[in-house]
Amino acid sequence: MTTAAVGARRIDVGKLLPQLIAPVAALVIAAAISSIALLISDKDPLTAFQHMYEFGTQPDQKVEILNKASELYIAAVAVAFGFKMGLFNIGVEGQSKVAAFFAGALASASFMDWMPGGLRIVLIVVVAMIVGAAWASIAALLKTQRGVSEVISTLMLNAIGGLVVTWLLNDHWGVTEPGAQIKTTGILPEDSWMPGLPIVSGTEQKVLGFFAIAVVLGAAYWFVINRTRFGFDLRATGYNPFAAVASGVNAKRMVITAMLISGAVAGLVNLPRMLGESHTYTEGFGGIGFTGIAVALLGRNHPIGMALGAILWGFLASSQIILDLDGIPKEIILIMQGVTVLSVVIAYELAARIGRRAQQRRVGVATAAAAPAAAEVVEESK
């Protein structure tokens, strides 16, 4: 009985099904609550949703949704690397700012003029990852050496990082391009603008080139988490830190490694726009790191789930423009985003419990049926 069943089913439908229903249910709830808000403000929800859909499926908007999704996805992966082991890197925002700023400033510095464009892109990516990791390492060291909660320290470092960047940009390294008024780190030479991807038909617009890197990053994330020893240690720590330590995981080293990886990925967050849209670092950058937390929660730290979450979020964010044109309060979108995150988190939690209970029940049934047989075997062997 047992041997027949062992190893047969890798996918447990009973456990998986609630997990799949959960986000759908959460979305329905979010839509319902948003509808109530719309009705209160005397707008027809169906028209609003229809306009959102029509607008969002226009080729131009598809491009922007994928652009937004790319940066959100990178931020979500950065957060998820920490979440997987129960480490809360709330500092993706600050890490991404500091990283993009230094990478941008270095890449457009005059002594870099000799560098060919392709190499400069590589330089920007590498420097941003190193700086992001370095900024994150402060929080990691504070946690391992002084026991400071990473939630507090990363939040504080967001503020510090933002101010350091502002100071350097405004008072030292910032330049203003002719015709513009905002300070930048200098427009990159055109040969290091990352080419866009013509993957959406029906528009001249191209998806930011970093979209491809986000896809690769997602695959790498999956591989590291699920197929490497490090990923196992990371997950084990997230499941049960005590058992992980007993299994030989060095908790402090784990915190530092996870934080460095999270910070390095965070360093990439602003690069899609920097390399493909603004071609420089500006103070307009920011906000994605925080939203990445929501996307990681939406996607349950799963590479595919986060991708769907990022696309959903990108869709909602770009819909604000069309709602504004219809005279519908854009706050509806904020309500929808907030409610979606909350209901998804709650729905997943419920689904996990239901799934676990269902599984326990089935194991109970299966082993109860097997038990008398086993008992007889014991009797016979006597």
**Beta-bridge mates of residue 183:** 176
Considering the complex, state which of residue 51 and residue 134 has its C-beta at the smaller distance from other proteins: 51
Nearest to 89 by CA among 126, 19, 142, 164: 142
Nearest to 98 by CA among 142, 144, 143, 154: 154
Tell whether residue 178 is a contact of other proteins (CB under 8 A).
yes
Contact, 91 vs 154, CB < 8 A? yes
| Binding-site member from 69, 77, 217, 249 for other proteins (CB under 8 A) | 249
Considering the complex, state which of residue 218 and residue 231 has its C-beta at the smaller distance from other proteins: 231
Considering the complex, state which of residue 24 and residue 376 has its C-beta at the smaller distance from other proteins: 376
Q: Whole-angstrom Cα distance, residue 257 to residue 270?
A: 22
- Residues of this chain, 24-43, that bind other proteins according to CB under 8 A: 41
| Binding-site member from 19, 137, 166, 257 for other proteins (CB under 8 A) | 166
Tell whether residue 360 is a contact of other proteins (CB under 8 A).
yes
**Beta-bridge mates of residue 282:** 184
Three-class SS state of 181 = coil
Tell whether residue 243 is a contact of other proteins (CB under 8 A).
yes
Considering the complex, state which of residue 12 and residue 191 has its C-beta at the smaller distance from other proteins: 12
Tell whether residue 370 is a contact of other proteins (CB under 8 A).
yes
Considering the complex, what minimum distance in angstroms separates the CB of residue 255 from other proteins?
Answer: 15
Dihedral pair phi/psi, residue 176, rounded to 5°: -115, 125
Tokens in use for 298?
């939406």
Number of residues interacting with other proteins: please give it, by CB under 8 A: 114
Tell whether residue 290 is a contact of other proteins (CB under 8 A).
yes
Contact, 93 vs 132, CB < 8 A? no
**DSSP letter string, 272-288:** HHHHHTSSS-BTT--SH
Nearest to 94 by CA among 260, 268, 286: 286
Q: Whole-angstrom Cα distance, residue 78 to residue 263?
A: 7
Considering the complex, what minimum distance in angstroms separates the CB of residue 376 from other proteins?
Answer: 9
| Binding-site member from 37, 220, 334, 354 for other proteins (CB under 8 A) | 334
- Residues of this chain, 183-212, that bind other proteins according to CB under 8 A: 183-184, 187
Considering the complex, what minimum distance in angstroms separates the CB of residue 134 from other proteins?
Answer: 19
Q: Whole-angstrom Cα distance, residue 171 to residue 154?
A: 25
Considering the complex, state which of residue 142 and residue 207 has its C-beta at the smaller distance from other proteins: 207
Tell whether residue 109 is a contact of other proteins (CB under 8 A).
no
Contact, 269 vs 74, CB < 8 A? yes
- Residues of this chain, 300-329, that bind other proteins according to CB under 8 A: 317-318, 320-322, 324-329
Exposed e or buried b for every residue in 348-372, given b needs 16+ CB within 10 A?
Answer: beebeebbeebeeeeeeeeeeeeee
Question: What is the pattern of x (binds other proteins, CB under 8 A) and - over residues 51-90?
Answer: ---------xx--x--xx--------------x--x-x-x
Other Cβ atoms closer than 10 A to 54: 11
| Binding-site member from 18, 91, 267, 286 for other proteins (CB under 8 A) | 286
Considering the complex, state which of residue 39 and residue 371 has its C-beta at the smaller distance from other proteins: 371
Tell whether residue 230 is a contact of other proteins (CB under 8 A).
yes
Number of alpha carbons in the 13 Å side-chain half-sphere of residue 73: 31
Other Cβ atoms closer than 10 A to 333: 21
Considering the complex, state which of residue 24 and residue 227 has its C-beta at the smaller distance from other proteins: 227
- Residues of this chain, 124-143, that bind other proteins according to CB under 8 A: none
| Binding-site member from 294, 310, 312, 316 for other proteins (CB under 8 A) | 294
Contact, 207 vs 67, CB < 8 A? yes
Tell whether residue 2 is a contact of other proteins (CB under 8 A).
yes
| Binding-site member from 217, 293, 307, 316 for other proteins (CB under 8 A) | 293
| Binding-site member from 34, 96, 153, 280 for other proteins (CB under 8 A) | 280
Considering the complex, what minimum distance in angstroms separates the CB of residue 60 from other proteins?
Answer: 7
Tell whether residue 374 is a contact of other proteins (CB under 8 A).
yes
